[in-house]
Amino acid sequence: MTSGNSKHNPYRSARYFISAHHLHQLPGDRGYEVAFAGRSNAGKSSAINTLTDQKSLARTSKTPGRTQQIVIFDIDAERRIADLPGYGYAKVPEKLKAHWREVMQDYFRRRRSLRGVVLVMDIRHIMRPFDEQMLAWCEASRVPCHVLLTKSDKLKRGPALAALHQVRKALPANATAQIWSSKDRTGLEELIDRLNRWYELTPTG
């Protein structure tokens, strides 16, 4: 059965597995892991829900900093999505930010199964310090990064393409970018293609 999509979407099988406060609580460092990161409210949860075709797999929330854990979703026995905590609001206490930085830095340095990072940015608020930090960690760990410019439905095509161009110009060599909308599913096939490559999944169907 298809649901009107021309392309097979292997990410529909994603299931919640575990939430980790510390790196040692994560599943064994084997197989393939792709992390999703983004400032709070950038549209990360909505993007995961759209990708997996599930209404509420990742919690969509307007409360900044509510999720302080790494949430793991299993795609299959060897493949996982890691939903990283995202800050970006000034009201998050400095102590919490420092803790987050430490955990994230450790994650990037040590996680051998990390195959790529999807960095979610609101297309109207691009390349903020949070994003620069994530890109720098990806570069330092030699992990490829793919930027999703979310909420593109809020812009006309011209300004959306201008933002894409601006981001692409600013990205390091190991990073790519695309336009996305969770509202009208713009960019879904492009993201699936990118993830299939990182997860070494051959498209079927």
Binding residues for ligand GDP, per CB under 6 A?
38, 40-46, 60-61, 150-151, 153-154, 181-183
State the nearest-atom distance from the C-beta of 188 to ligand GDP, in Å: 11
Nearer to ligand GDP, 151 or 194 (CB): 151
State the nearest-atom distance from the C-beta of 136 to ligand GDP, in Å: 20
Nearer to ligand GDP, 66 or 165 (CB): 66
State the nearest-atom distance from the C-beta of 67 to ligand GDP, in Å: 8
Output the DSSP codes for the chain.
Answer: ---S-SS--GGGG-EEEEEESSGGGSPPS-SEEEEEEE-TTSSHHHHHHHHHT-TTSSPP--STT---SEEEEESSSSEEEEE------TTS-HHHHHHHHHHHHHHHHH-TTEEEEEEEEETTS-S-HHHHHHHHHHHHHT--EEEEEE-GGGS-HHHHHHHHHHHHHHS-TTEEEEE--TTT-TTHHHHHHHHHHHHTPPP--
State the nearest-atom distance from the C-beta of 183 to ligand GDP, in Å: 4
Nearer to ligand GDP, 30 or 154 (CB): 154
